[in-house]
Amino acid sequence: MIKARIIGTGHYLPERVLTNNDLEHLMDTTDEWIRQRTGILQRHIAADNEAASDLAAHASQNAMKSASISAEEIDFVICATLTPDYFMPSSGCLVQHKIGAKRAGACDINAACSGFIYGLQQADALIRAGVHKTILVAGSEIMTSRLDWTKRDTAVLFGDGSGAVVLRADNGDSGVITTYTASDGGGHDILMVPAGGSAQAITPENINELNRGILMNGRELYKRAVYAFGDAVEQALKRANVRVDEIDLFVPHQANKRIIAAACERIGLPEEKIFLNLDQVANTSAASIPIALDQACAQGRIREGSLVLLAAFGAGLTWGSAVIRW
């Protein structure tokens, strides 16, 4: 049976770092307040001349180097992002051009923080169906472009970055075992950017009145996220027919340390099996899991044969998971 095997990982973080102490000078907050509620210590901020496709191109090139493949070998590029360079064209097309994948198709996926899982699922299905052999999936975000730096409920949470993986058709034991995705559009207003789309188009007349930043109902989001993380993990394990104690490493979306801890307690996953980089990169939305995957590989926490569990939750509302044999 053909499987989609991850043969390379890569990530890229912008050079500029903004610490919690820096934020104390921008808004009414403290380092202690941020750390206790989120677990975040710092985040990376994209330069003024960096767009989401630029970050994704860097991460993708690193992933291709890790996979020892050339750009010409890539059949398709999927870019998961909610902060694209433009509404049109897709950032995926820009990444395809910037990395030199001349014969690849390309598109974007917007499932917010669950975007990478959704992209992974699409890539897995295309490879299993025999449509493509080699697919690049990147998650890339410049979340700070959506922030109001006077609002500590959202401004302290997010950072910029990109991560990417290369998947290739393989008939061995390694590869994506299962994926799971779900959504609940009834909760769309719990976490959203109200203005900028067709529902609230920005015009010269209303540009100063519409909210173009992130709106979040933190209390409701926390409750939904704990449930969704648990559901995502339970579904993935059930579909993969594996027990939680068989998992070698859990790589969750890096949203909030308290949410991750609550979800892991619910499913009985010990702390030593969880990979966290939230303190250094904050919430990078769709880039979160692929950044963490590359860092976990570099640290030796993922090795050949490792059974890896992924799970994410995001705006939409969306959530999803995957089980992968490395």
Residues known to be catalytic: 113, 253, 283
Cis peptide bond upstream of 89, omega within 30 = yes
Of 301, 316, 279, the closest CA to residue 38 belongs to 279
CA atoms within 13 A on the CB side of 79: 36
Do residues 38 and 278 touch, judged by C-beta distance below 8 A? yes
Measure the CA dihedral 167/172/173/175, to 10°.
10
Task: Name which of 112, 238, 236 is nearest 251 in CA terms.
Answer: 236
Residue that is written with structure tokens 């308290």 in the block: 258
For 138, other C-beta atoms within 10 Å of its C-beta total 36
Pairing of strands 134-142, 76-80: parallel
Conformational region of residue 297, where left means phi above 0, alpha means psi within -120 to 50, and beta covers everything else = alpha
